[in-house]
Amino acid sequence: MSEPQRLDKCVAESTGCSRAQAQQYIEGGWVRVDGQTVEEPQTPITNQRVELDPEARLEPAEPATMLLHKPAGVEFKDAPALALAAAHAEGDLSGVRMLKRHFQHLTPLMPIDAEASGLMVLSQDGRVWRRLTEDYAQIEQEFVVEVAGELGPYGLKRLAHGLEYRGRPLAPCKVSWQNETRLRFAIKNVMGGQLRHMCAQVGLELVSSRRLRIGRIPLSKMPVGEWRYLPVGERF
């Protein structure tokens, strides 16, 4: 048995590239060991078969941002613990290659109530973090809310403008009936429990809510519990 050596050294020697380039190939998911993709340059290699993908490109692995259809009842802080890798949406057209490193150090952004379902953002990207954190109050979110009860006088007008929450007047928003039991909100700077409180003030009980959009990014038709990548270049 030969002495073990690091995978990046093995790749560099077999391809004639530098160690730095070998590390970039490995971290980019372009190297297979005995047919299995390995993304850790320090992996010890003895007599295994090491292959570099013929389509390998020397490019840095960009931090990932994932769009998840959060199920109702899942705590926001628990979402990164979901089995994301097994729930990758088949309709993901982002073109982003899935890497193990994408599931590390994901930060949940734009929180919604635990009982709500819908679009949720998980990101490693500092640029996305700054946008969704620092500009949170200016980014419009869209919700569809199922309600029960009877809407009070001028209820729709009051929902759109004139209510208070936690002792402060709420900014105007757009509200319309989607059908007989569902309201659609286009609203900014949403706080925890706010939609339920707003509905209660006009005689309605919030039965369920689902976030359909954050800024320019829609939930689309992604099934509950599945996720897709935010395509490179798309902005909230």
pLDDT tens per residue, range 73-118: 887 565 554 555 568 888 898 988 889 888 888 889 999 999 999 9
Helix or strand run (H / E) with residue 141: strand 140-149
Provide the angle, in degrees to the nearest 10, between the axes of the packed helices 19-27 and 7-15: 110
CA quadruple 21, 27, 28, 31: dihedral sign: positive
Dist. CA 4–CA 7, nearest whole Å: 9
69 pLDDT above the threshold of 80: yes
Q: What is the pLDDT of residues 167-182, one digit of tens each?
A: 999 999 999 999 999 9
Q: What is the pLDDT of residues 5-21, one digit of tens each?
A: 999 999 999 999 999 99
Supply 82's token pair: 């979901």
Closest-CA residue to 9 (of 41, 36, 39): 41
4 pLDDT above the threshold of 50: yes
CB 208 within 8 A of CB 146: yes
The helix/strand count (H/E) of the chain reads as 5, 16
* Domains contained in the chain, CATH given: 5-52 (3.10.290.10), 65-136+217-229 (3.30.70.580), 140-214 (3.30.70.1560)
Backbone phi and psi for residue 96, each to the nearest 5 degrees, phi listed first: -80, 130
